[in-house]
Structures are given as C-alpha cells and as structure tokens.
Structure 1
Amino acid sequence: MVAMNAIISASELASDLAAGSPPVLLDVRWQLSLAKAAGEPSFDGRAEYAAGHLPGAVYIDLDRELAGAPGTGGRHPLPDLTEFGAVMRKAGVSSRTPVVVYDGGQGWAAARAWWLLRWTGHPNVRVLDGGLPAWRGELSVATPEPAAGDFRPEPGARGLLDADGAAALARSGVLLDARAGERYRGDVEPVDRVGGHIPGAVSAPTTDNVATDGRFLPAEELAERFKALGATDGSQVGVYCGSGVSGAHQVLALAVAGVPAALYVGSWSEWSSDPSRPVAVGPDPQ
C-alpha cells in the first residue's frame, strides 16, 4: 500500500479543481471523544460541514460509514464492505476517478478513509495535507448531489492485521504503537480496560509525524524517523493505535516515507478487551 503521492497540498488541489477535471472530495471531519467509552458519541463534524466545506465535497461519517459497530473487534472495527461500497458510490467515488479526503486538520479521520479506500482497491486516493485549515479558497454551504460512482471494494490480501498477526509481527518484524507515549507505557489509560502495549511493539506517537501546523514532515525526515525505529522499505511493518484511526495516519506517514505497512484495525481497544492477551508496560518493547 505504499504510495509516494499519498498526500496533496492545498495549492495542488486548488490547481486540480481549476483544471476542470476535479477529484471526488470527501469531508471526514471527526474527533475522538474520550467520553465514547461511556457510551457518548464522538464529535462527527456534520454541523461544521454544513457551515462550510470545500465546493463539491461530500460528508462522510467516520463512526457510521468508515467503521462497524463497536464490540469485540474494538471501537472502530472494519465496516461492512458492502455498505461501505454503497456509501462511496453514493458520494461519487469511481475506480478511475481520483479521490481527495480531508478533515479538520488532525489528519486522523482523513487517513482512515484513505486507508480503507486504498486497502479495498482504489488506486488514486490522497489526503489534503493540513486538512481544511490549509485551504485558502472559498468554502461552500451547498450540499452536492454527485452522480453515482462505480467503486466496488475488493479487499487486498495484504495491509491488514488481526490480533494474532500483530503479535507475531511484533516479534518477527516491526510493530509500531501510534498512541501517546504515556498510554504505551501504561502510565494512564483514559479509554480502554487496561494500559500498556502489545509485547514487542515500539512506541512511535503519530503526533511526531507532523509539524506544528498539522502538515506532514518532509518525506526524507519521515524516512529517517522510521529508520531509527527499525521501519524501512525492506522490513515487515505494522501499526496499531487505540482503535484503528490514528494508526491509519501512521500508515499514511509511512507511505509518504516510502515504507509499506499493515494496519491492525482492532488495535488496543480489541487487544486489551481480551484478558488472555499479554500486556507489557513501561518504556521498553519487552
């Protein structure tokens, strides 16, 4: 799933939109609510979309359209792919049409949409670097009605890990934990049953992939960062996070750096819910 052109700048997108053959635009504004563990919904960005979005962009709900219902598979398991395909086609996504995804700037939600589309076979998906805050053009309040697309999800044989695969990769390759360091160490755990990390996983907070403006570091800097963590183009690399959202952002950063990686979608929310799974704590992989 490596893709050197996995992101697009606001100026490049503006040029594409002005060229007369615009990409399909998906607005995936969303932010994790720590209260979700108590049954409250996450912020989903729908009101912000209605107040202003990129002209022609279609709103996509991460919790309902890019994930299945929370359960034993974690807080954001894979969506039903038949339903996901229907949502994408309704949004105008076709297999031969470029897609650009954006969110409110954090990049996590957009990366989740990017990863799902790439893993299910779409060949040309990019994330707006820096999200909506990077955009300098006009916004629209009109709700578009795009012509139906023809995209049919075809999951790849690679790029996806389950719990057993993540455990094995932590020993045989490189498994990166994209959460904050304090959650990796087990110092705090605001959402899941227990703190800590998958034994053998390496701490690699996804927040270190971006500059203060939310845009990705240059590809060369990202490559050096991941090399120091043991992740190179020649190694087997996997990523997990809390529930498969910020981990997708890490997979995106690895793609920018030229390193293919798989995502453990269930992530810590699935792993920690199973008392039979081992848990490591502290700063070392163990």
Structure 2
Amino acid sequence: MTDYLDIYKDEIDCDAIRELRKEPTRIMNSKGNKPLLELIEQLPALKFEDNDFTKKAVRFGQKEDLTESQRTELKEQLKQLIPWRKGPFDIAGIEMDTEWRSDYKWDMLEGYLPDMKGQRICDIGANSGYYMYRMLADEPEFILGLDPTVKYFLQFQALQKLTAENCLHYDAFGMEHLTHFPKFFDTIFCMGILYHHPDPVGMLRIMNQSMRSGGDIIIESQAIPGDDHVALFPDDTYALVKGTYFVPTANCLINWLKKAKFVDIEFFHSHPMSSNDQRKTEWMPFRSYEDFVNEETGLTVEGYPAPIRIYLRAKKKA
C-alpha cells in the first residue's frame, strides 16, 4: 500500500511524522513485541474481496473461504493478539466477540453522521480499527487511525492482511500529533478517548486546527450524570482504570467544545453503561465492566458515580 505521506506530501508535515514513527517502530522491534511482529508477518495475506462493512460484526470473507483446519489455525494466531477490545468481527466464520459491543455505539450515531463520501477522516483512539472499517461503507477518500498502543496497531495490521486494498491508514501516535495535519480533515471521530487526556480543551483545539472549515467532529465519551457544568477528577483510578483525568457531564463537554471554537454543538444521545456492552469474552478474558462497577449501587469500586456514555457532534466554523 502507498504511504499516505507520499499522497499528501504537500499538505502535511511529512518530516515530523516520519520522525514520530521511529519510536513505535523501536517498540515493535523490542524483545517483548518482536514475536507479535513476527506473527503479523506470518499471517496469510488472504485479502478477501467479499467483505461486508455494514454489518454489526464487520465481515471479512465467507466461511467457505477457509477449511476448518485453516480457520482453527487462523483463530489461534489472532488470539495471540488479545485483548481484542473493539469489535465484533466475523473473519471467514471466526466469530470474534470483543470486549466492547462497538456496534452498539455505531448504531447510536446513525442519523447523525455527515456524508463521508470522498472525505478525509481521522479516527482518534482507533484501537483495532473497527469504526474505520464501518466508515468504508460510505466510500471516503482517506481514513487515518491514530492510537499510540502498539498492540492495537498490530491488530489493525493483522486485519488488513485479511481484506482487499482499501483507503485505511494507521499510525501509532496520540491525538496531540494532529498538529502535523493543519486544516486537513473533513471529519474527526473521537470515540471513547477524550477523558484519557489531562488537557481535553487543548486537545479539542488541536483537533479543530487540523480540520477544514465547516468540518464535523463526532464525540463519544465516558461521562457522569447530571446537568451541572462540572467534571469528575478521580484520585488514582476511575473504574479501576488509570489514566482517567476529567470525566465530564454533557454540559461540561459542551462548554469544552465552545472554548475550542466549535459551533453548532448538538448533544444527541446518552445511556448508562452496563455489562451488556462491555464484558469479558473469549477474546478479552481479563477484568471488565462487572469488576469495575457495582450495578446495584450505581457506583464504581472507588465509590464514584458510575459512568454513562454521551454522544455529541459539532462543526468547525466555516
């Protein structure tokens, strides 16, 4: 696949991006990750043509594309990349039931998504790339996934070996590196990630600056219930997750978007979290929602209000 730096070399800071790539490459080639990198190289390049990105479980190929022994071998290879958190996927009959039912979140966005045909899109916190594959159904020009977690980058690389050539690209960067893409994206997705940054308003400003005039931002976030314009700032962990900084109310997040110069802000959905949409599975056998939150008391294990999920969209001023 052609490196997107060669396609958009006159519009983005290619030298800075190439420099940023050195650290994830070093991490992937380190002793601990080298076996996983070798696993990706050993995966068969199946490049299925018959895919369906409109289904709740993104489908690569058909069951008859693999023999039972091939399917068993491929499943064992993919399970070496656990935890698989965002999905689900159907890989030639392999049902990958991930920790998150990300299709539930995607369903919440239906009716609120912009027309993405021919657009340049960024998926921040892309994880395995589930949402990126769902976007393909709209025929965008270019989709870039950003996520600094090397394991998720490798999961995406594994999935890309299973499907025909597409417009998806991925770098193991954080959202702060959007500074290298000035006025570049038509649409940004920020799904389940903003509360993991100590400066959410600063990050929203960076996103705004990386967007074209009139562009759209779609945000899905963990939040706390209530109408006050406040955010919870947990002590050490929130629902046993380190690296959680500000957990806002919907009104607080709306104010953040205003301060980041977004307009036409719409808060269009919220729902309580539960073990129906985040749970242990064969593909993510570690602790999950039921271990973090007491669903009877409505409190996290630390005693904080249990999280809800909120959905908003906004625009960069034209």
TM-score, normalising length: structure 2: 0.27
In proportion to residue count, which structure has more strand? 2
TM-score, structure 1 as length reference: 0.29
The structure with more radius of gyration: 2
